[in-house]
């Protein structure tokens, strides 16, 4: 086998011999020829070098039914793309497929999976002569930002998954999609230019419908499924809520959005997740005595009311919600105070609640994992100070410009404020009886649009451990400094080998902790976040 096939899994029929690949060129150019008995090729490109395929690379591979290239964009094609793909393919996955269309003579009538994520493809097939994909079950063209038209699915009555998220040039989902009666998942998330959708979705087995962050969509299709588990309309300004919001099944997820919502909808009390963001709702109904003493009490595990700027208060008896674990109130600018919170609550986000003056008295008694209090200029910080003094949540964010005094190591004003040096305790301090129970991290930062703040622990030139803290982007820290504190338990403290923590192996050494923002591929974010102070404390 040539070097092109290193890392490729090939499948051949039983009792047949595999022929060798030929024409491996000195610069990595390669053609696949003579592999008539090969039925499948799978190649992980994450660590592969750049490779060049010829236009006729797959000619002669008449038995090929499975082709899977996944990972980074490391395969190059000639300017005109491929001349040929075997019509017998049943599974075609080519992440970042490097062409604007598939070969014109490719008519895969047996194709079951077609996956071309992150590709520059505009149309799967050029011209009017489209193949009849009668066996297709999965079509995944997610993140194909140049895609303008999806393939003809009018004969694809076996289709179960239609995944088109982040297809930002797509303007229409054809009406014939409504007749795909075996469809289980439809994902149109962040298709920002899509305007026209089918009037109905008639699949009785449809479970997941995501039409989120589609600003041009005004009408949601009528959904006629009895199996609906997820309906996501967040960020999509529909003019009328679909009746399907009342039919999401027990344990399901419902995400709604928009000014048309003026009252808290009477949705299923058995939802697991309910998002009701950016509405004009001013109040929520209290849960009456009948509800509180029956099985009708909502069983939400997660409730998001983000961006409801006119909402003035929460029900006084919200503490009776038996399973509420996460409550997101960021941007509820009119809320002045919060009632007693449910004992099950572990995550609370009140960032940007500019009128909030106090947290409820039972806030110090809850087992917090995340407490976000950024951009709350009127908030009495007595309770947060008490929370920090007694125990540190996994994540705590609040308005301020100082690292708490109890931090053992803090950056100096006249030095790099995003990096500090720590002398680890000697070996006898980190014996099996005195292992640390975790590490506390703290930063003071301003003007944040980053996703994360990351802390790397470096010894010499080697990063031995790394941790991160999520930074909310909904309400960016624009004008004031905010303190971000987070805690890594001993299980997450990092290791350098099996069964050996880094702080044990490097006991007595000098290590550096370096903090920096991370915004994925959006590099401009990095310039917008400034870390003004940082701190680290080993907790025993």
Give tens-digit pLDDT for 1-22.
334 444 444 444 444 444 333 3
Strand partners, 422: 511
Q: What is the pTM of this model?
A: 0.83
**Structure confidence at residue 198 (pLDDT):** 97
Q: Residue 37, CB half-sphere, CA atoms under 13 Å: how many?
A: 10
Residues 250, 273: Cα–Cα separation, whole Å: 10
Secondary structure class of 277 (helix, strand, coil): strand
Strand 91-94 with 370-373, pairing: unpaired
| 520 pLDDT more than 70 | no
Residue with tokens 């229409």: 172
If you average pLDDT over residues 253-269, what whole number do you get? 92
Residues 71, 94: Cα–Cα separation, whole Å: 9
- The chain-wide mean pLDDT, for the chain, equals 84
**Structure confidence at residue 432 (pLDDT):** 52
Q: Which residues have CB under 8 Å from 538's CB, separation 6+?
A: 408, 425, 436, 439, 503
If you average pLDDT over residues 533-538, what whole number do you get? 91
**Structure confidence at residue 19 (pLDDT):** 37
Residues 132, 135: Cα–Cα separation, whole Å: 9
What percentage of the chain has pLDDT greater than the value 90? 51
CA 500 vs. chain centroid, Å, equals 31
Report residue 490: phi and psi, to 5°.
Answer: -60, -30
If you average pLDDT over residues 166-173, what whole number do you get? 98
If you average pLDDT over residues 204-215, what whole number do you get? 97
| 106 pLDDT more than 70 | yes
| Cα–Cα distance list, 530 to 216, 376, 404, 405, 450 (Å) | 35, 20, 19, 21, 10
pLDDT (tens digit, 9 = 90+) per residue, 183-193? 999 999 999 99
| 300 pLDDT more than 80 | yes
End-to-end CA gap in the chain = 55
Query: Which CATH number is associated with domain 409-539?
Result: 2.60.120
Residue 512: which pLDDT band, with cuts at 50, 70 and 90?
very high
pLDDT (tens digit, 9 = 90+) per residue, 345-375? 999 999 989 999 999 989 988 988 889 988 8
| Cα–Cα distance list, 476 to 299, 316, 449, 450 (Å) | 31, 29, 6, 9
CA-based torsion, 12, 17, 21, 22: positive or negative: negative
| Cα–Cα distance list, 173 to 1, 75, 76, 264, 314 (Å) | 44, 30, 30, 31, 40
Longest dimension (CA), the chain: 79
Which range has the top average pLDDT, 98-107, 379-388, 398-407, 498-507? Answer: 98-107
**Structure confidence at residue 5 (pLDDT):** 42
The residue ranges of every structural domain in the chain are: 409-539
List of E strands, 292-416: 302-304, 326-328, 347-349, 370-373, 395-399, 409-410
CB 403 within 8 A of CB 533: yes
DSSP 170: -
Q: Which of 165, 7, 143 is nearest to 75 (CA)?
A: 7
Exposed/middle/buried for residue 128 (C-beta within 10 Å: 0-12, 13-18, 19+) = exposed
Residue 506: which pLDDT band, with cuts at 50, 70 and 90?
confident
Strand 452-459 with 510-518, pairing: antiparallel
pLDDT (tens digit, 9 = 90+) per residue, 123-141? 999 877 889 999 999 999 9
**Structure confidence at residue 394 (pLDDT):** 78
Q: Which of 366, 395, 403, 402 is nearest to 383 (CA)?
A: 366
pLDDT (tens digit, 9 = 90+) per residue, 319-332? 999 899 999 999 99
**Structure confidence at residue 396 (pLDDT):** 87
In 3-state terms, the chain is what percent helix, strand and coil (to 5)? Answer: 10, 25, 65
Q: Which of 85, 146, 156 is nearest to 119 (CA)?
A: 146
If you average pLDDT over residues 304-332, what whole number do you get? 93
| 387 pLDDT more than 90 | no
| 114 pLDDT more than 90 | yes
Residues 535, 54: Cα–Cα separation, whole Å: 55
528 compared with 403, residue with greater pLDDT: 403
| 496 pLDDT more than 90 | no
Residues 73, 350: Cα–Cα separation, whole Å: 41
Neighbours of 70 (CB within 10 A): 15
- SS3 sequence, 95-145? CCCCCCCCCCCCCCCCCCEEECCCCCCCCCCCCCCCCCCCCCCEEECCCCC
Residue 45: which pLDDT band, with cuts at 50, 70 and 90?
confident
CB 479 within 8 A of CB 526: no
266 compared with 430, residue with greater pLDDT: 266
| 494 pLDDT more than 80 | no
């Amino acid at each position: 086998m040539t070097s092109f096939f290193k890392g490729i899994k090939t499948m051949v029929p039983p009792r047949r011999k595999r022929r060798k690949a030929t024409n491996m060129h000195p610069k990595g150019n390669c053609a696949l020829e003579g592999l008539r008995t090969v039925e499948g090729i799978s190649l992980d490109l994450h660590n592969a070098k750049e490779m060049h395929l010829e236009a006729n690379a797959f000619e002669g591979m008449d038995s090929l039914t499975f082709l899977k290239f996944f990972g980074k964009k490391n395969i190059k094609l000639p300017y005109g793309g491929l001349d040929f793909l075997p019509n017998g393919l049943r599974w075609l996955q080519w992440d970042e497929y490097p062409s604007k269309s598939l070969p014109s003579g490719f008519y895969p009538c047996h194709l079951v999976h077609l996956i071309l994520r992150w590709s520059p493809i505009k149309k799967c097939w050029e011209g009017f002569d489209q193949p009849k994909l009668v066996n297709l079950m999965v079509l995944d063209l997610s993140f194909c930002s140049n895609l303008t038209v999806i393939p003809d699915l009018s004969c694809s009555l076996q289709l179960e998954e239609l995944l088109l998220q982040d297809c930002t040039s797509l303007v229409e989902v054809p009406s014939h999609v409504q007749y795909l009666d075996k469809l289980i998942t439809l994902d149109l998330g962040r298709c920002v230019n899509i305007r026209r959708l089918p009037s109905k979705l008639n699949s009785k087995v449809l479970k997941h419908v995501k039409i989120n962050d589609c600003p041009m969509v005004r009408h949601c299709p009528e959904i006629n499924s009895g199996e609906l588990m997820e309906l996501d309309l967040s960020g999509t300004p529909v003019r009328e809520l679909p009746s399907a919001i009342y039919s999401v099944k027990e344990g399901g997820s419902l995400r709604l959005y928009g000014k048309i919502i003026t009252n808290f909808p009477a949705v299923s009390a058995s939802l697991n997740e309910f998002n009701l963001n950016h509405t004009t709702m001013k109040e929520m109904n209290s849960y009456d005595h009948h509800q509180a003493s029956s099985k009708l009490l909502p069983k939400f595990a997660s409730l998001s009311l983000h961006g409801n700027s006119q909402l003035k208060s929460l029900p006084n008896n919200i503490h009776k919600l038996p399973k509420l674990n996460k409550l997101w109130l960021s941007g509820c600018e009119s809320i002045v105070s919060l009632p007693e919170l449910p004992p099950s609550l572990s995550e609370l986000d009140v960032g940007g609640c500019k009128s909030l003056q106090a947290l409820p008295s039972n806030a110090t008694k809850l087992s917090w994992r995340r407490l976000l209090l950024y951009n709350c200029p009127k908030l009495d910080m007595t309770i947060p100070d008490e929370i920090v003094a007694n125990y540190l949540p996994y994540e705590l964010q609040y308005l301020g410009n100082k690292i708490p005094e109890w931090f053992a190591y803090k950056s100096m004003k006249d030095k790099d404020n995003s990096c500090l040096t720590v002398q680890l305790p000697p070996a006898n301090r980190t014996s099996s009886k005195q292992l640390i129970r975790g590490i506390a991290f703290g930063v003071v930062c301003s003007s944040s649009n980053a996703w994360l703040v990351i802390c790397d622990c470096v010894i010499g030139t080697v990063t031995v451990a790394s941790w991160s803290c999520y930074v909310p982007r909904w309400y960016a820290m624009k004008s004031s400094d905010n303190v971000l504190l987070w805690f890594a338990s001993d299980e997450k403290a990092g290791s350098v080998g099996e069964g050996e923590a880094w702080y044990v192996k490097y006991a007595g050494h000098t290590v550096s902790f370096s903090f920096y923002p991370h915004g994925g591929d959006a590099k401009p974010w990095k310039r917008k976040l400034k870390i003004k102070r940082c701190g680290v404390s080993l907790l025993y």
